A and B are shown apart, each in its own frame.
Chain A
Amino acid sequence: MRFLAILCALFLAALPARAADIAIALTDDLIKVDAGFSGAKIVLFGALSDADGAVAPKEGPGYDIVAVVRGPGSIFRMRPMLHQDLIWKAGPAIDIGAPELLLTSANRPLDEIASPPLRRALGLGAEAAWIAPGVVAASPKAARYVQETGALSIAESFLEHVRKVGRFREAVGGVKFRKGALFSIDVELAPATPVGDYAVEVFLFRDGALISRDGAKLSVRKVGLEREIYELAHSQPFAYGLGCVIISLIAGWLAAAAFRK
């Protein structure tokens, strides 16, 4: 029923719009990370409209839709694994500024939808060349490593890592055209999705040019006991540590009592 309500609201909102407009809404603007969290799927519902009223995007010529879920800017610290005296050890620290999370879904590959400068300006996906200027060596030793390896190569390794753990993803075909001018976009959140506040944006392109965009907000929050434990451990670490000890003492004593003959 919620699904229908959103569709109706969108449909009504889209009707009096300007030339070729886009509007979206989320089924859930809060993702709860609890004990059983193993990733989640969010669905964006959207509607398109043209000067003549609603149009079905698949009928319209050259329409493309891209959805982006983006986290706030963050700093990732990377240490190369170096072979040294028979063992592998983590080397000097290299810092990379990048969004905490960057998930895109589009109806076809991003490089077919818009030109690289436009994609970069809008933050659609990520390429090593865009990340490379944000590579900062934290020490002279790290600076030497960056010089030897090249910032571009480090940025490529960075992208490989964040894509593997599911922090960055470029999905193609996540856009489903529904009835008339309505569409939906599925975005998968990986189990390793960090908690935080994210911006969701949807872009409408026509023949490679951006013609409309709309945004929404998404929160990923720890809930329930997990959140309380995490918050207690970070805000009141002494009380938390003491609590852990007391729980362990009781548990150990109970175990001994239970098995006493």
Chain B
Amino acid sequence: MQVYLPIAEMPVDPFVVLAMGGAVGFLSGMFGVGGGFLITPLLIFYGIPPAIAVGTQGAQLVASSVSGLTAHLKRKTVDFEMGRFLVIGGGFGSLAGVILFGYLNARGQIDLYIALAYVIFLGIVGALMFAESARAILRDPTKRPARKRTRRGAWMAALPYAMRFRRSQLYISPIPPIVLGFLVGVLSAFMGVGGGFIMVPAMIYILHMPTNVVIGTSLFQIIFVMAITTILHAVANQTVDIVLALLLLAGGVFGAQAGAKAGVLLKAEHLRALLALIVLAVCTRLVFELALPPEEPYVVETL
């Protein structure tokens, strides 16, 4: 059976796409990550044009983040004031990312730069996560190192317009969250990722937000920024395929439920080590695709 994707203008096997959505949903439920950084490479491996894979990913992330956010809203673990500034920065970042995307797309180089961006980010994130989880697994459980509370740098206190963020119990300038939002917005638009893997550590270690509000606030930011990104991609590049997004989503919803149940069976550091290995495997495959001679000597498109 085949389903014709109206925007990608190609037939795909719906069960393969459902399975991909399910597999990534399983991982995201198990590890508590968005999974955008795995879906895009999988779609590219399957033969979906990278530009469509990235553009479509936004719609899919809006949906999965809404599912996640409902739980955080009930627990009141979302800092809306902080989220607002992250979204403002993210909106502009997304615009910059979409403009860059359109520029490279017109020059026929978008596929290459998407792949390069993925190699760099998956390589760094995978390696860091693997090193961290390996240390945690090998560490002697009897003597836990006393966690040093890192002190906020003086530069942060020196920034103007400091204001109170009640939910996060912080008194800081809104400039760092705006800048952080901007950087994540660029990545969202260019790579089709939510950016949680950068946002969450940055919120904890740079903004010093309490851990319990970090995930909810990150999801809040992802929904808005991915919504903006999806509309911008639809307008500027016509690369959002709603049929593809819905297929991925349908698979992802069930995968995530199964993944969340499977996740509790493993220890946290083992989970992280496993995820790191998956990330590094995808990264390696992308490196091979870039380094090995291509199957076709030419890329052909119809003008």
Report A's interface with B, CB cutoff 8 A: 33-38, 74-81, 83, 86-90, 93, 95, 100, 157-158, 161-162, 191-192, 194, 222, 225-227, 229-230, 233-234, 237-238, 240-245, 247-249, 251-253, 255-260
With known contacts A81-B296, A253-B66, A89–B109 Cβ distance under 8 A: yes
A198 CB to nearest chain B CB (Å)? 15
Knowing A88-B291, A245-B59 are in contact, say whether A252-B234 is a contact too (CB < 8 A): no
In the complex, how many angstroms separate the beta carbon of B235 from the nearest chain A beta carbon?
A: 4
Q: Specify which chain A residues have a CB less than 8 angstroms from the CB of B299 in the assembled complex.
A: 78-79, 81, 90
Q: Which of A161, A162, A194, A238 contacts B231 (CB 8 A)?
A: A238
Question: What's the count of A-B pairs with C-beta under 8 Å?
Answer: 166
Question: Which A residues are CB-close (under 8 A) to B70?
Answer: 253, 256-257, 260
Q: Are B291 and A87 neighbours in the complex by a CB distance under 8 Å?
A: yes
**Interface size range of chain B in the complex:** 35 or more
28 residue pairs A–B, Cβ–Cβ below 8 Å: A35-B4, A74-B302, A75-B302, A75-B303, A76-B301, A77-B300, A78-B299, A80-B298, A81-B293, A88-B290, A88-B292, A90-B299, A161-B296, A161-B300, A229-B7, A233-B6, A240-B234, A248-B59, A248-B227, A249-B62, A249-B66, A249-B223, A251-B246, A252-B66, A253-B67, A255-B67, A256-B67, A259-B257
Please pick, from B10, B71, B245, B290, the residue contacting A248 in the complex, using a CB distance under 8 A: B245
Contact B66 A86 (CB under 8 A): no
Asked if B67 and A252 make an inter-chain contact with CB atoms under 8 angstroms apart, the answer reads: yes
CB distance A191 to B11 under 8 Å?
A: yes
Q: What's the minimum C-beta distance from B39 to chain A, rounded to whole angstroms?
A: 14
Determine the residue in chain B with the shortest Cβ distance to A230: B6
By a CB distance below 8 angstroms, the chain A residues around B223 are 249
Complex-state Cα separation, A184 to B242, whole angstroms: 41
- B63 A240 Cβ-Cβ under 8 A: no
Query: What chain B residues lie within 8 Å of A89 (beta carbons)?
Result: 109, 112
Q: Is the interface of B mostly helix, strand, loop or mixed?
A: helix
The residue from B111, B112, B234, B253 contacting A233, defined by CB atoms under 8 A apart: B234
Question: Can you list the 9 inter-chain pairs with the closest CB atoms, starting with the nearest?
Answer: A241-B234, A252-B66, A252-B63, A241-B231, A248-B62, A256-B67, A248-B63, A229-B6, A255-B253
The reply to whether B231 and A242 form a contact with Cβ atoms under 8 Å apart is: yes
Within the complex, the shortest CB–CB distance from A191 to chain B, in Å, comes to 5
Q: How far is the CB of A126 from chain B (nearest CB, A)?
A: 15
Which residues on B sit within 8 Å (CB–CB) of A242?
231
Chain B residues contacting A251 (CB-CB under 8 Å) are 63, 246, 249
Q: Across the two chains, which residue of chain B brings its CB closest to A161?
A: B300
Instruction: Give residues in B with beta carbon < 8 Å to A.
Output: 1-4, 6-7, 9-11, 59-60, 62-68, 70-71, 108-109, 111-112, 116, 223, 227, 230-235, 238, 240, 242-243, 245-246, 249, 253, 257, 290-294, 296-303
In contact, A248 and B249 (Cβ under 8 angstroms): yes
Return the chain B residue nearest A255 by Cβ: B253
A111 to B67, CA, bound (A): 63
Within the complex, the shortest CB–CB distance from B220 to chain A, in Å, comes to 13
Residues on B with C-beta less than 8 A from A253 are 66-67, 70
Q: How far is the CA of A76 from the CA of B111 in the complex (A)?
A: 18
What are the residues of chain A within 8 A of B298 when measuring CB–CB? 78-81, 157-158, 161
A223 to B70, CA, bound (A): 38
Contact of B108 among A77, A100, A162, A229 (CB under 8 A): A77
Whether B303 pairs with A222 at a CB distance below 8 angstroms is: no
Inter-chain contacts of B62 with A (CB < 8 A): 245, 248-249, 252
Note all chain B residues with C-beta closer than 8 A to A256.
66-68, 70-71
B37 to chain A, nearest CB (A): 18
Nearest neighbor of A35 in chain B, beta-carbon distance = B4
Complex-state Cα separation, A237 to B240, whole angstroms: 10
Task: Report the separation of the CA atoms of residues A161 and B63 in the bound assembly, to the nearest whole angstrom.
Answer: 38
Given contacts A233-B240, A253-B70, A256-B67, A241 and B10 within 8 Å (CB-CB): no
Given A78-B300, A89-B112, A248-B63: A37 touches B4 (CB 8 Å cut-off)? yes
Chain A min CB distance to B36 (Å) = 13
Residue of A80, A226, A247 touching B246 (CB-CB under 8 A): A247
CA distance A249 to B227 in the complex (A): 9
How far does the alpha carbon of A241 sit from the alpha carbon of B60 in the complex, in Å? 13
| Most chain B CB inside 10 Å of its own CB: which residue of A33, A191, A251, A257 | A251
With both chains docked as a complex, state the minimum distance between the C-beta of B9 and any C-beta of chain A, in angstroms: 8
Contact at A226–B235, with CB atoms within 8 Å? no
Given A241-B233, A248-B245, A256-B67, CB of A34 within 8 Å of CB of B4: yes
Q: Please, which residues of chain B bring their CB within 8 A of the CB of A87?
A: 112, 116, 290-291
Q: Is the CB of A88 within 8 A of B4?
A: no
Instruction: Give Cα distance in the complex from A78 to B296, angstroms.
Output: 11
Contact residues in A for B294 (Cβ distance below 8 Å): 81, 88
Q: In the docked arrangement, what's the CA distance between A83 and B235, Å?
A: 34
Across the interface, which residues of B come within 8 angstroms of A161, CB to CB? 296, 298, 300
The complex places the Cα of A159 from the Cα of B70 at a distance, in Å, of: 54
